Structure 1
């Protein structure tokens, strides 16, 4: 559901998946379970800066605490126009896992976009993701960290062109 009025934009989402086969946790076997999740997000555009915030709550009802993937994620961010055709963005996010000893992760990012034309944009970004000593976040399908407590630094740059 979406509400948009002037500079304010709010979104609410709910999703329920029943009887799915899940292998979200890397060391767990596939289980039949249900996942219920809801999210709330919003932006407010002050023209000189646009603020962002999100909150997501996911409940994995598989009944096995060792495999449960329930979590809460929140994020905040801001973007602002710079120079004639540029935009800089800064964001922070945090995820907390409900299962005992699962820990938490947080990340922050800094990005810049520069429009060369209506259809072509250059971009660059840096992201740091930190996992505490109990967490191996992104261990499921993404697998971009290998060890519990490992942190990740990512730098990207590229160009987008719309046809």
Structure 2
């Protein structure tokens, strides 16, 4: 009997050890800090109406500061259960980012297989991020140099309630699909009956073979809200965006090209850095820009080169155009005519790798944004934005 008890204990210990070997959990993160200068100013018809200048310590320029947990558990037959929980923070004061969410950067659980792909559920990037972000020499990093400053959230945005599928590579080809279906209703006998629907679908495609890498993504989003059965006009939009691009590695230098458009509204209401001009110019304060008559175009030309095994440089020019064919003031439904905003950003960065986990960087970026508005587009608004800084990034 004692032998049976001993054997049972040994088998239990072996089973526990085997399970522990099949399950892995990793603590990881990024710490990025530096020093820099940011200067922005807006003039309307030659008169300064707004300015902002910051000199001092910077946080999360080359990469957003974060810490996270990710893990996998082998389920057999080449399939594994996976999870990832990621939180963002400000290195300078230790506060959390993403609206104070505990895991605002990412919170997902799913299944993955080398043969059929990966399915994840939770808060995560849209599918465009998986196929487009890697085409920019700066990715979604380096603050003003990132192409999100003109393409905004059309190239990848964190969303709640996302179900996403990413395929494995088939001879260099891959694809992905993301879906959001969020219907809510809030009713009490003493308040309004509010129904809100947010529905979105995204598809992405990629191809990689030798020096060529291509990517494309399309997103469609439908937002609608009714209050006591009446549609809220400020929350009733059907918008779409598409982005495509590619890179070609000439070995000495890599070429980056990206182009995209958004129609009848912009994803998440984000106009990129041009949104600062629209927000801080008093003449635009009453306007509802993110409506059915808006259209954006964005483009990027970039170059990157690995000078040595430890040193590389990156350059990009990105441009954008926002057109609103008939801008309306919501308070009185008055049509104030068309508005056009043109954006131009030039950026240059140098990166030196001190080790596989630690790098030093320097970044310089200059942006110019011009708007035409008013009767017959006779008024002008102009914003200049300059950013210069150096920093250190360590990944753990």
With the shorter chain as reference, the TM-score category is 0.7 to 0.9
2:386 aligned to 146, 149, 153, which one? 153
**Residue in structure 1 matched with residue 340 of structure 2 by the alignment:** 102
Map residues 14-25 of structure 1 onto 2, 5 A cutoff.
14-19=218-223
Higher helix share: 2
SS at match of 1:98: strand
Conserved 8 A contact 1:17-1:36: yes
SS at match of 1:118: coil
Name the CA distance, whole Å, in 1 between partners of 2:220 and 2:265: 11
TM-score (norm 1): 0.79
Query: Which structure: larger Rg?
Result: 2
TM-score (norm 2): 0.34
Shift in Å, 1:150? 1.4
Shift in Å, 1:156? 2.5
2:304 aligned to 68, 72, 79, which one? 79
83 and 5 in structure 1: CA distance in 2 versus 1, 3 angstrom threshold: closer
Name the CA distance, whole Å, in 1 between partners of 2:251 and 2:209: 15
1:7 aligned to 211, 214, 221, which one? 211
Name the CA distance, whole Å, in 1 between partners of 2:389 and 2:257: 23
Map residues 117-132 of structure 1 onto 2, 5 A cutoff.
117-132=355-370
Shift in Å, 1:107? 0.6
Q: Structure 1 unaligned runs (5+)?
A: 22-28, 136-146
- The number of equivalent residue pairs is 143
1:115 aligned to 353, 362, 369, which one? 353
**Residue in structure 2 matched with residue 60 of structure 1 by the alignment:** 264
Conserved 8 A contact 1:134-1:149: no
Name the CA distance, whole Å, in 2 between partners of 1:20 and 1:98: 23
Name the CA distance, whole Å, in 2 between partners of 1:61 and 1:11: 23
Name the CA distance, whole Å, in 2 between partners of 1:20 and 1:149: 34
Deviating beyond 3 angstroms after TM superposition, the runs of 4 or more aligned structure 1 residues are none
104 and 16 in structure 1: CA distance in 2 versus 1, 3 angstrom threshold: same
**Residue in structure 2 matched with residue 143 of structure 1 by the alignment:** none
SS at match of 1:48: coil
Q: Structure 2 unaligned runs (5+)?
A: 1-204, 226-232, 267-286, 325-337, 374-379
1:92 aligned to 317, 325, 336, which one? 317
Name the CA distance, whole Å, in 2 between partners of 1:107 and 1:154: 11
**Residue in structure 2 matched with residue 141 of structure 1 by the alignment:** none
